[in-house]
Structure 1
Amino acid sequence: MMEQVMLELSSGFLVTIELFVLTLLGALPLGLFIAFGSMSKLKPLRFLTRAIVWVVRGTPLMLQLILVYFGPGLLLDYQLWGGSSAGRFTAVTVTFIINYACYFSEIYRGGIESISKGQYEAGQVLGLTRRQIFFKIVLLQVVKRIIPPMGNEFITLVKDTSLARIISVYELIWAGQAFIKSAGIIWPLFMTAIFYLLFSGVLVIIFGQIEKKLSYFSS
């Protein structure tokens, strides 16, 4: 039984890792674009971007999953994602990317706006372009300041992947919960906690090392 449980949990954990990685690959760059939009000097763009971020951050991720997956079929009479497991996983991934991009955008914006204007002015005095100022002076300081909140969001994402089962995507929690019905045992569900703790622990160590490497920047 133990071998079967570990096999099923490992299978679900791989899906969890895949969703985690794909979300970061999409949300990290998208969040930066959204951050620039929310800081834009164009008022319509800034208002629209901040309104979208407000809506996404102000509504439950579970609700967003349901709307993204079922919405096209119910509202437009068009099943955008199809009924396959691949389609459901794609819907989950798209929803997670949009959701976390909005959260990341606020972290980016806070980090960028925390840099004093004097540093931008100093760069201009040295004859640097705005692009050079951003990449050579601002960027590494921003990275240092956003590492702690980013670490928190990464760990939250690990746990949020369990919401994928809402639209029948097989992941770690589902794998553990399935044994309650099939075998009448609950201990595999508790074992899922070990997987999450180990995953989160690895992230804590990684972010701790990154913070140490960036410690030469003063806060």
Structure 2
Amino acid sequence: MSVDQLVTMIKPMLEGAQMTVLLFLIAIAVSIPLGFLLTLAVQSGIKPLAWCAHTYIYVMRGTPLLLQLLFICFGLPMLPVIGEYLVLDRFTAACLGFILNYAAYFSEIFRGGLLAIDKGQYEAAQVLGLSKWQTTTRVILPQMFRVALPAVSNESVTLVKDTALLYAVSVPELLHYAQTVVNRDFTIVPFFIAGIIYLIMTLLLTAWFKWLERRFKFD
């Protein structure tokens, strides 16, 4: 295989990788804050709110992400009366599906981080005269994120790989272009190239999280 042929294969796949990276950045930027809000809702003393949050998390974690994407892309427009107002661009619908799904997972990660904090931390903050807001922002949240960071890192890597599901809802991402090149050139080389691109993306993301762990001494 010549260099020109290899470049011809890689160029469209790199364009698809841009879509993959864009989806990842949007999903991670929105799902993490949303997941934290869900954690607060679950921990809330308002029982209806906590129940709704628990139910949402159970449904989103208990059903396949692919099913959720298909429902948002193709099911919502079929709903009676309101369906015509729920027709979304495929990429927008995919972003929404990833955000809603991963917010539920991040919520459970943050909840685990909160449960890992010793109750003595609250008592110590109270003895020091810290307000509830100060206790939360200066004592509890930093420790929670410290505990949750490794799990957030793992979930983020999973998110990168799950972007391949865009292929199922006809969003032209990395895997879509790889399959297109395979069909055009009758070679499996594009699949190997796609695998290498995914590995590079996950490697860079993992290295960044490792840097965060060293930077903030999350040992």
Residue identity matched to 1:60: P
Residue identity matched to 1:213: R
Q: Determine the structure 2 residue equivalent to 1:182.
A: 184
Q: Determine the structure 2 residue equivalent to 1:78.
A: 84
The 1-side partners of 2:135 and 2:77 are apart by: 48
Which TM-score applies when normalising by structure 1? 0.93
Q: Determine the structure 2 residue equivalent to 1:46.
A: 50
Listed one character per residue, the Cα deviations across residues 40-60 of structure 1 (whole Å, up to 9, x for unaligned) are: 111111111101100100100
The 1-side partners of 2:90 and 2:206 are apart by: 30
Q: Determine the structure 1 residue equivalent to 2:20.
A: 16
Structure 1 unaligned runs (5+)?
A: none
Does 1:200 pair with 2:202? yes
State how many pairs are aligned: 213
The 1-side partners of 2:15 and 2:85 are apart by: 28
The 1-side partners of 2:91 and 2:85 are apart by: 14
The 1-side partners of 2:162 and 2:199 are apart by: 13
Residue identity matched to 2:146: K
Q: Determine the structure 1 residue equivalent to 2:63.
A: 59
Report the Cα offset of residue 81 of structure 1.
3.0
Residue identity matched to 2:187: I
The 2-side partners of 1:8 and 1:81 are apart by: 28
Alpha-carbon contact 1:115-1:142 (below 8 Å) kept: yes
Report the Cα offset of residue 75 of structure 1.
1.9
Residue identity matched to 2:149: I
Q: Determine the structure 1 residue equivalent to 2:157.
A: 155
The 2-side partners of 1:36 and 1:200 are apart by: 30
Q: 2:37 aligned to 18, 30, 33, which one?
A: 33
Report the Cα offset of residue 213 of structure 1.
2.4
Alpha-carbon contact 2:10-2:193 (below 8 Å) kept: no
The 1-side partners of 2:23 and 2:113 are apart by: 26
Q: Determine the structure 2 residue equivalent to 1:98.
A: 100
Aligned sequence identity (%): 38
Runs of 4+ aligned residues of structure 1 deviating over 2 Å after TM superposition are: 79-82
Report the Cα offset of residue 79 of structure 1.
5.8
Listed one character per residue, the Cα deviations across residues 103-155 of structure 1 (whole Å, up to 9, x for unaligned) are: 00000111012111111111111111111111111222111111111111000
Which TM-score applies when normalising by structure 2? 0.93
Report the Cα offset of residue 189 of structure 1.
1.3
Alpha-carbon contact 2:24-2:160 (below 8 Å) kept: yes
Q: After the TM superposition, which of the residue ranges 72-81 and 97-106 deviates more from structure 2?
A: 72-81
Structure 2 unaligned runs (5+)?
A: none
The 1-side partners of 2:107 and 2:87 are apart by: 27
Report the Cα offset of residue 10 of structure 1.
0.6
Listed one character per residue, the Cα deviations across residues 37-91 of structure 1 (whole Å, up to 9, x for unaligned) are: 1111111111111011001001000000001111122223416235xxxx10000
